[in-house]
Structure 1
Amino acid sequence: MVAALALPLSLAAPAGADPGAADQRRVMASINAPGAKRHLQKLQAIARANGGTRASGTPGYAASRDYVAGQLRKAGYKVTVQPFEFPFFQENSTALLNQVSPDPTTYQPTPPDGGTVGDFATMTYSGSGDVTATVQAVDLTLPPSPEPGSTSGCEASDFASFTAGNIALLQRGTCTFEEKARNAQAAGAAAVIIFNEGQPGRTETLQGTLGQPGFTIPVVGTSFAVGEDLASPEGTVVRVKTDTESETRTTWNVLAESKKGRADRVVMSGAHLDSVTAGPGINDNGSGSAALLEVALRTAKLQPKNKVRFAWWGAEELGLLGAEHYVANLSDAERAKIRLYLNYDMVASPNYAFKIYDGDDSDATGAPAGPPGSDEIEKTFEKYFDALRIGHVGTDFDGRSDYGPFIEAGIPSGGLFTGAEGIKTAEEAKLFGGTAGEAYDKCYHQACDDLSNISDRALAVNLGAIAYVTLTYAYGNDLPGPENRTAAASGARTAAADHGHDHGLTR
C-alpha cells in the first residue's frame, strides 16, 4: 500500500502539472500511512491525558493545537494560531428524569458519551440543577394536530398563569427550543421539559440545542410518549437533574502555508481538529487532521507554483465555527485569492466507503452542487482512484463539514469522506468490502472512537489521494473555476445541522 501511493504521479498525469518532477516523485513516495498513524497515536495520548477528549474549549484541544503547530514549525512553516470565542457546552454526568408521583417512573437517559438514545436527553447549553417540583403544562396541543404547528411556550403570554418554581412542560413546534426555554426561565420555571410534537416522524427523543449559553436551569428533551405521560394528570411531580458546563470560551484555528507560490492563487486544504466531548475523536476527525499534517510536513520543502495553505479548524463539532470565523474575517480581496478549498473529515472509517464530494450534483440527489470548478476537483480525485483501480462513489455537499462556509463564499470545493453514522448499502459492501446494514463508523461521536476505530487501508488510500491532489494543484497552471472568480456567494446553502455531524435540532 505504501508503494502504491507513489503510482498516481506516473499513471495519472494531472493536466497542467509536472508529474515528472523529481521532487514531486520523491515527496509522493515518502508519504505513508505509518507517518499519519504516528500522529493519530499522539492525538490518542493527548486525549488519554486530558479526560478522554480533545473537544474545543478543553485542555485536550489546546494540547492538540500545540502538537500540530509544533510539528509545522519544526518543518519550517510560519504558523498562525487564530483565536476566537465560541459557546462551549459539556455534560459532565448522566442526567436524571423521574416521575415521583402519582406513578413513580424512572425514565432512561441518553448518556453524555453518545451511547444508546434513551427516553430523554439533556439539551445542549442546558444549565445545571437538581429540581423536584410540580409539572405545569404550557399551551399543549394533545392529541397533536395532523400537521406540525404547536406554539407551546413561543410567547411570553403563554406563561401568564405559570406558577414560579414549577417545571414547565412544553411541546415542540413552530419556534426554537431557545425561545421556549428562555420564556420559561423568565417566568420563573425551575426546569424545562420539551417533548416531541407527536406527528409521524416527530415522536422520538429530542436531542436538541438551545443555541447558546445563558440558561441557569435544567432543560431536557423527551420523546412524545414521555411528554404525554407527564401531561396528565395535573399535579404530577417530577425530579430533573442535569450536570453541565455552559459558557463562552476561547478556541483556535491552526494555519500554515508554503513560503513559495503565487499569493494570488491559493490552494487551501482543511480538516477539523476538535473531537466531541464524549471521546478522543480519532476517526472524527483525527484521521483527516493526521493525514493533512503528514502531507503538509512532507511537502514543506517544495517550491510550488501556487501558494499552498493548510488549516486545522476548531469548534467544528459545535457548528463549523472555526471555518465560519476564518471565512467571515477574510477581506474580499483575500477571499478571492483562495482558488479552491479541499476538505478532509473522517477519512478512515472502519466500515468505510471511498466517497468523493459531488461537485456538480451528478448523483442527482437534489443536494446543491458546489460553485463552478467543484466538478473539476471531483474529477481530479476520481483520477487518482481510477489510476489505482479503486472504486469510489459520490457524496453530497450537505453542509455537515467545514466546506460549508467556503461554498457559501463561492469558492470551488471538494474533498473526501468515508462515512459517519449512516448505514452502508449492499452495493457499497460489494464495492468496498465491509458489512452492509451497519454504520460506516459504529463509534461515531462516542468514547470508543479511539485508535481501534481506524481502517489502516482507508487511511493509506486517502492519504495518497490527499497528497496527489495537493501536488496536482500546487503545481497546476489551470486551477478549477473561472480565473476571475469573485468572492460572491454562489447561493449554495449550508445546512449546519448534522456531521458529518449532528449539531442538534434547534426547533
Structure 2
Amino acid sequence: MNATSRRLLAVAATTALAAPLLLSASPATARSHDPAKDAAKDAAKLSRKLVREASAGDAYRHLEKFQAIADSANGNRAAGTLGHDASAAYVYSQLKKAGYQVSYDTFDITYIETLAEKLTVTAPTPHDVEIVAMSYTTSTKEGGIAADLAAVPVDATTGCEPADYAAGAFTGKIALIQRGGCDFATKQKEAAAAGAVAAVIYNNTAGSLNGTLGGPDAGKIPTGGITQAEGQALAAEAAKGAVKVSLDIRQLQEERTTRNVIAETKGGRADRTVMLGSHLDSVTEGPGINDNGSGSAGLLEVALKLAKTHEKPANKVRFAWWSAEELGLLGAEAYVNGLTAAQRADIALYLNFDMIASPNFAQFVYDGDDSDGAGAGPGPEGSAQLEKGITDFLDSRNVPHEGTDFDGRSDYGPFIDAGIPSGGTFTGAEGIKSEAQALKYGGEAGIAYDKCYHSACDDLSNINMKAFGINIGVIANAVGTYAHDLSSVTKPAAKAEAARIPLKGGKTGTVSHSRGHTPTA
C-alpha cells in the first residue's frame, strides 16, 4: 500500500471516530448516534455560512490594499522586493489579529528583473516583434546583438536534439524554435551548442509566450518568447531568404530572501490537515492584482470569515500565501521540501487558487481524474474527488465549467509531486477564449482571458467581479466542507465526461492554459 493510500484510509477511519470530540457544537445543534452523519451536517452548515458571508465585495478591499502597496513600491509586488514584503506583512497582520497561528517561511531566491526585451526585424521588412524574456536567461550586451535568423525545422521534438541543428547552419545566428517536445532550457542549450548566439522560441498555440529556463544556472544564451503568429511568419520569411534581426534582452539577477506566509487554525487534527494556497507575488512588470492578488485576497477573506465563526474545526485548516511562484514555484517547493515524511502524510489535501478573476474569464477546474485525456494525467489518489467536490458546488449554483490540465505551472505542482491529493480553480491567463467559450461564459472570443497578464495593466481595473465571487464561493465551500468532513475525499469517484468544445477549423479538443512558470515546453 502506498503512502497516499495509507493517508486516505487513515482519513476515512478517523473522520467518523474523532470528529465529534473536536467540534464546537452549539447547544441548539442536535447530535445523532451516527458520528459520520454529524460530521456531514457540521460541514454542510459551515460551508453554507462561509459561502453566504465571504463575498467578492469584502475581498475587494484586500485587492485595494495590494494595489496601494504596489503603487508605493515601484509598481509591483514581486518576490524579493519591498512590495512583496509589505504584502506579506499585511496578510500576516490580518491573520494574526483573527487568531490564527501565523508564521513566516523564509527562503533564498535569485531575484529577477528584466531591464530590456526588444526584437526588431531590420531586413527584409523592418518591424518590431513583441518578445518576452525567459526567466533566468543570460543577457545580451547593452544595445543588443544583430544577427541573421536561422529557423529550426518543425517536427515532434523541434530544437530538442543536436540532430535538429544542421552543422554550421546556426553558427553566429539567432535560432528560431517552435515550442514543444522538451523544456525551454533544453532548446536554448542545444541551440547554444550548435553555435547560436541567441534563441527566440515561438508558441505552438495562440497567445503570447511567457516562460522560464528553470534556474539561474540553466541559461546559456539570451532567450525570449514570441507568439505563434509572429514565429510562423518569421519562419516563412526565413525560408525565402535572409532575415536580419536585432535582439536586446537584459536581465538583472541577484541573490535575495523572501518568505511565504503560513496560517493555521489552533485546533483540529493535525494528522488530517486541510491545506489551501495561492501565490502572493507578482511579476516585476506590474502590480499583479489578478495574478495573483485575486487568489490571495479570496483566500484571505475566507480565512477571516472562518475565524469569525468561532468554529473549532475537526480537522486542522492551513492557509498558505506563497512567494516566488513567478520564479518557478519556489515558495511552494521550498515549503514541501522542508516537510518531513510524516508532515507530508498529515496533509489530507491541497487546493490551489491562482488567477480567479480574469476579466474575460472561463471557469476552469483542475482535472483531477484526467477525464479530459490531455496533458500530464491525473493527480494523486483523491484528486478526482476534489475535482468532483468543486464541480458539484458549481453545478448546484448553475455555473458552467470545464477542466484544465495539471500542467505543473502553479503551486499545486510540488504537492502533486509529493503524492498529496490536489485541485483548485483558475479563470485563464494569456490563452485565447474560443467562440464556444464566449457562448458558454460570456465575454469576447478571440482575445486572451486576461489581456493584461504579466503586464502593468494588471491593476484594479483588471478584475471580473462575477468570476471573483464565483471562485470565492468555491474556496468558502471547500473550507467549510473539509474542515469537518473528509469522507468525500476517500469515496470512489466516477470518472467525469470530458468537456469537449469546438475549436477553430471545426475540430474539438480539451482546453488547457499556459502559465509559463516552470521550465516546460
Asked if Structure 1 and Structure 2 have the same fold, meaning a TM-score greater than 0.5 normalized by the shorter chain, the answer is yes
Alignment correspondent of 1:113:
none
Q: Does 1:375 align with 2:375?
A: no
- Do the aligned partners of 2:185 and 2:519 also contact (CA within 8 Å) in 1? no
Tell me the distance in 1 between the aligned counterparts of 2:395 and 2:241.
65
Alignment correspondent of 1:68:
91
Q: CA deviation at 1:77?
A: 1.5
Alignment correspondent of 1:456:
465
Alignment correspondent of 1:271:
278
- Do the aligned partners of 1:382 and 1:392 also contact (CA within 8 Å) in 2? yes
Q: 3-state SS of the aligned residue for 1:501?
A: coil
Q: CA deviation at 1:264?
A: 0.7
Distance 1:254 1:192, change over 3 A: same
Tell me the distance in 2 between the aligned counterparts of 1:176 and 1:96.
22
Tell me the distance in 2 between the aligned counterparts of 1:358 and 1:505.
21
Alignment correspondent of 1:473:
482
Q: 3-state SS of the aligned residue for 1:299?
A: helix
Bigger mean CA deviation after superposition, 216-225 or 439-448: 216-225
Alignment correspondent of 1:117:
none
Q: CA deviation at 1:430?
A: 3.3
Alignment correspondent of 1:193:
198
Give a deviation string over 1:421-464, Cα, whole Å, max 9, x none. 23334443333332333332222222221111111122122212
Tell me the distance in 2 between the aligned counterparts of 1:108 and 1:53.
26
Tell me the distance in 1 between the aligned counterparts of 2:191 and 2:46.
64
Counting matched residue pairs gives: 456
Tell me the distance in 2 between the aligned counterparts of 1:220 and 1:386.
41
Match of 2:336 among 327, 337, 341: 327
Q: 3-state SS of the aligned residue for 2:41?
A: coil
Query: Residue type of the partner of 2:401?
Result: H
Q: CA deviation at 1:36?
A: 0.4
Distance 1:62 1:251, change over 3 A: same
Distance 1:148 1:204, change over 3 A: farther
For structure 1, the 5+ residue unaligned runs are 1-12, 111-119, 484-497
Tell me the distance in 1 between the aligned counterparts of 2:209 and 2:148.
19
Tell me the distance in 1 between the aligned counterparts of 2:62 and 2:340.
33
Query: Residue type of the partner of 2:288?
Result: G
Q: CA deviation at 1:35?
A: 1.5
Q: CA deviation at 1:365?
A: 3.7
Distance 1:28 1:96, change over 3 A: closer
- Do the aligned partners of 1:130 and 1:239 also contact (CA within 8 Å) in 2? no
Q: 3-state SS of the aligned residue for 2:300?
A: helix
CA RMSD of aligned residues (A): 4.2
Q: 3-state SS of the aligned residue for 2:489?
A: coil
Query: Residue type of the partner of 1:503?
Result: H
Distance 1:152 1:51, change over 3 A: same
Q: CA deviation at 1:387?
A: 2.8
TM-score (structure 2 length as normaliser):
0.73
Bigger mean CA deviation after superposition, 357-366 or 59-68: 357-366
Equivalences for residues 422-437 of structure 1 within 5 A: 422-437=431-446
Q: CA deviation at 1:481?
A: 3.5
Match of 1:262 among 258, 269, 272: 269
Q: CA deviation at 1:311?
A: 0.4
Tell me the distance in 1 between the aligned counterparts of 2:205 and 2:41.
55
Report the identity percentage: 47
Q: 3-state SS of the aligned residue for 1:407?
A: helix
Alignment correspondent of 1:129:
141
Tell me the distance in 2 between the aligned counterparts of 1:506 and 1:385.
31
Q: CA deviation at 1:319?
A: 1.9
Distance 1:303 1:24, change over 3 A: farther
Give a deviation string over 1:323-367, Cα, whole Å, max 9, x none. 112111211100000001111111112222232222212334464
For structure 2, the 5+ residue unaligned runs are 1-35, 493-511
Q: 3-state SS of the aligned residue for 1:480?
A: helix
Give a deviation string over 1:465-484, Cα, whole Å, max 9, x none. 2111111110115261489x
Alignment correspondent of 1:6:
none
Q: Does 1:501 align with 2:521?
A: no
Structure 1 or 2: more helix by fraction: 2
Alignment correspondent of 2:509:
none
Tell me the distance in 2 between the aligned counterparts of 1:464 and 1:328.
31
Tell me the distance in 1 between the aligned counterparts of 2:207 and 2:471.
36
Tell me the distance in 1 between the aligned counterparts of 2:411 and 2:303.
19
Q: Does 1:87 align with 2:92?
A: no
Tell me the distance in 2 between the aligned counterparts of 1:451 and 1:378.
29
Query: Residue type of the partner of 1:192?
Result: V
Equivalences for residues 157-196 of structure 1 within 5 A: 169-170=174-175, 172=177, 192-195=197-200
Tell me the distance in 2 between the aligned counterparts of 1:179 and 1:435.
36
Bigger mean CA deviation after superposition, 121-130 or 62-71: 121-130
Give a deviation string over 1:88-116, Cα, whole Å, max 9, x none. 322134436575xxx69755142xxxxxx
Alignment correspondent of 1:353:
362
Q: CA deviation at 1:240?
A: 4.8
Q: Does 1:294 align with 2:301?
A: yes
- Do the aligned partners of 2:46 and 2:481 also contact (CA within 8 Å) in 1? no
Tell me the distance in 2 between the aligned counterparts of 1:454 and 1:264.
37
Equivalences for residues 26-175 of structure 1 within 5 A: 27-95=50-118, 97=120, 107-110=127-130, 120-124=131-135, 125-127=137-139, 129-130=141-142, 135=147, 144=153, 169-170=174-175, 172=177
Give a deviation string over 1:240-284, Cα, whole Å, max 9, x none. 544421233222211000001011110000011111222111111
Distance 1:21 1:216, change over 3 A: closer
